Structure 1
């Protein structure tokens, strides 16, 4: 065996697969969000829902006091406005079931 073959053969059969697997695992971990990020998103979603409920309450109070008050374009009781919200709630429910 020549000295160059001693270096080339292990490089092909050990080094190359290791290099490929290394970057494959890097790409897989970079493509997902962490559990901390998921928890933060769930907290922000809960906060947004509470703020939306508060805005509904304020709008109802203003509408009672002022008959000229115009309803907002997006209304909480219209199904077309809640489609994306329902999808998000379904995704969160699936995540919670998967954790169990």
Structure 2
């Protein structure tokens, strides 16, 4: 009886337990890799905050340029530094 029990446990573990364990963690890994709606909302808020801070910085630079035109060689121009147009379409959501 004992001669059959150990190989049966080994075969069951090999063909049932191990694949179940692998697929369980693959499923967990895939579900953790996606963004939640909370994460998307946070990214949207951070993007809006960064855009507002950039606008404020440009305003300060325009004021400084108006007071002293030679304070800096390059003016704050979003197009010249690679920032997209402010009147563009809203931020696209990341699809799940």
TM-score w.r.t. length of structure 1: 0.67
- What is the match of residue 18 of structure 2? 16
- What is the match of residue 59 of structure 1? 61
CA RMSD of aligned residues (A): 3.0
Closer/same/farther in 2, CA of residues 3 and 35 from structure 1, 3 Å limit: same
Contact 1:62 1:69 in 2 (8 A): yes
Contact 2:65 2:71 in 1 (8 A): yes
User: Which of structure 1's runs of 4+ aligned residues deviate more than 4 A?
Assistant: 71-74
CA distance in 2, matches of 1:38, 1:22: 26
Task: Identify which of 23, 48, 54 aligns with 2:50.
Answer: 48
The structure whose Rg is larger is: 2
CA distance in 1, matches of 2:29, 2:76: 39
CA distance in 2, matches of 1:22, 1:47: 39
Decide which structure has greater helix share. Answer: 1
Task: Indicate the SS of the match to 1:81.
Answer: coil
Show structure 2 runs of 5+ residues with no match.
none
Q: CA deviation at 1:44?
A: 0.8
Show structure 1 runs of 5+ residues with no match.
none
TM-score w.r.t. length of structure 2: 0.69
Count of residue correspondences = 91
